[in-house]
Amino acid sequence: MGDWEFVKDRTATQGAVWRLTDGLLYKRTGGEDLRAETAFQQLVVGLGYPVPEIVDSGSEGGSYFVVERAIGETSLHEEALADARRDGQVSYQVPSTAAAVSSKLLQAQARHPLPSTPWFEKAAFAPEVFEENPDFDIPRIHEAVKHALDRLAQLPMVHGHRDYGLPNVLRAGVIDWQHHGPVPLGYDVYPALDIVAFKGGGKGYTITREQRAAYTSALDSTTASLIGQRVSEHLGDFLLVKCFFFLALMRPTDPARHDKHIKWQYRRALFTMGLDQYESFNTIDTGAFPTLDRFAAEHR
Ligand SMILES: Nc1ncnc2c1ncn2[C@@H]1O[C@H](COP(=O)(O)OP(=O)(O)O)[C@@H](O)[C@H]1O
Ligand SMILES: [Mg+2]
């Protein structure tokens, strides 16, 4: 069968990812979180979601493990990075493959609507954001959130990924369901290319306005046929939630970490920019976000 080789420690949870040397299987180790993630993944495999099939799971030396089939060799994040290094820009294949996977996910999601249920607090990490940024816990911001949630209440609720983006999308599906939970239809997929801008350009590539427009319009064809609505009209509502998500857990505990302090301030600035735009135009233009380097240079 071959041996398990270490891939990486998991982000935002305990445990690690391992890959079988022949590349056909991946193994994750972890605790109770991983157990819940696995149960969820098994549920959505059964609902026809484009996710890896689980072939084994259990306990081993006091921790939990799960083994799933590989669904590709590189994520779209890695493909975008390779394109940018080679050609100086991301090829059209990245947004077009992303749109194909996103459409599959939308179809499976739309076929299995859920009863209406609270979702914002957890998806946005709102309690954490207000705890770390008490100056944002003000009526103005709660009103903007209420406005977005009222608009989003018109969409069906579905089982969601909540951390959908190029690093978790491969040609044959979507991995890494640790943040799973209910979301309005479209919340996962519509912001997927816009959220690259929250990383501040440090990831090595940018997605152009044209690429984002092509992606959005492909998704709109899917949602128009699924629910008779072009869900891109909710992109601004989704991105307001993402402004929270990307600000959560950013406040450094160690005041000596100037680099972390700047990143936190950067995400606070994006939050404020996003909010201003949302209030004025009901949408958020991530193309107007400064890079982290530019922000840092202006805030020395
Ligand atoms: N089923 C899979 N098929 C292909 N690659 C996978 C699979 N599961 C994990 N990987 C690889 O392992 C990496 C880390 O897995 P992931 O669950 O996303 O960890 P993290 O929680 O740290 O983001 C991914 O970026 C991907 O390269
Ligand atoms: Mg991941």
Place of tokens 């972890």: 30
Contact 119, 157 (CB under 8 A): yes
**Nearest ligand for residue 28 CA:** 1
149 and 244 inside one domain: yes
Is residue 300's pLDDT more than 80?
no
Place of tokens 């970490």: 257
Contact 200, 291 (CB under 8 A): yes
14 and 147 inside one domain: no
pLDDT in tens, 252-265: 999 889 999 999 99
In a domain, 26, yes or no: yes
Q: Cα(23)–Cα(8) distance, rounded to whole angstroms? A: 15
CATH number of the domain at 117, please.
3.90.1200.10
Percent pLDDT > 70 in the chain is 100
Single out the residue of 198, 175, 215, 222 nearest to residue 270, CA to CA. 198
23 and 166 inside one domain: no
24 and 161 inside one domain: no
Instruction: Give the amino acid at 267.
Output: R
Single out the residue of 187, 185, 209 nearest to residue 197, CA to CA. 209
Tell me, letter by letter, the H, E, C secondary structure of the chain: CCCEEEEEECCCCCCEEEEECCCCEEEEEECHHHHHHHHHHHHHHHCCCCCCCEEEEEEECCEEEEEEECCCCCEHHHHHHHHHHHHCCCCCHHHHHHHHHHHHHHHHHHCCCECCCCCHHHHHCHHHHHHHCHHHCCHHHHHHHHHHHHHHCCCCEEEECCCCCHHHEECCEECCCCCCEEEECCCCCHHHCHHHHHHCCCCCCCCCHHHHHHHHHHHHHHHHHHHCCCHHHHHHHHHHHHHHHCCCCCCCCCCCCHHHHHHHHHHHHHHHHHHHHHHHHCCCCHHHCCCHHHHHHHCC
In a domain, 195, yes or no: yes
137 and 286 inside one domain: yes
pLDDT value for 1: 61
Across the chain, mean pLDDT equals 96
> Relative to the CA of 12, which ligand 1 atom is closest?
21
In a domain, 215, yes or no: yes
Is residue 272's pLDDT more than 80?
yes
Contact 75, 167 (CB under 8 A): yes
Q: Which domain holds residue 213?
A: 88-298
Q: Whose CA is nearest to atom 17 of ligand 1?
A: 176
> Relative to the CA of 13, which ligand 1 atom is closest?
21
Is residue 299's pLDDT more than 90?
no
**Ligand 1 pocket, Cβ-based, cut-off 6 angstroms:** 7-8, 10-11, 17, 26, 52, 68, 70-72, 75, 167-168, 170, 175-176, 178
Q: Give just the sign of the alpha carbon dihedral 204, 209, 214, 220.
A: positive
In a domain, 121, yes or no: yes
Percent pLDDT > 90 in the chain is 93
256 and 122 inside one domain: yes
pLDDT in tens, 131-161: 999 999 999 999 999 999 999 999 999 999 9
106 and 140 inside one domain: yes
Dihedral-angle region of residue 72 (phi above 0 means left; psi in -120 to 50 means alpha; beta otherwise): left
156 and 206 inside one domain: yes
> Relative to the CA of 75, which ligand 1 atom is closest?
27
Average pLDDT over residues 116-127: 98
User: How many domains, in total, are found in the chain?
Assistant: 2
In a domain, 74, yes or no: no
Residue 228's pLDDT band (boundaries 50, 70, 90)? very high
- pTM of the full structure: 0.96
142 and 272 inside one domain: yes
pLDDT in tens, 163-186: 999 999 999 999 999 999 999 999
142 and 282 inside one domain: yes
Q: Cα(207)–Cα(80) distance, rounded to whole angstroms? A: 9
55 and 151 inside one domain: no
In a domain, 75, yes or no: no
In a domain, 139, yes or no: yes
237 and 170 inside one domain: yes
In a domain, 77, yes or no: no
Dihedral-angle region of residue 62 (phi above 0 means left; psi in -120 to 50 means alpha; beta otherwise): left
Last residue of a domain, one of 41, 69, 97: 69
Is residue 61's pLDDT more than 90?
no
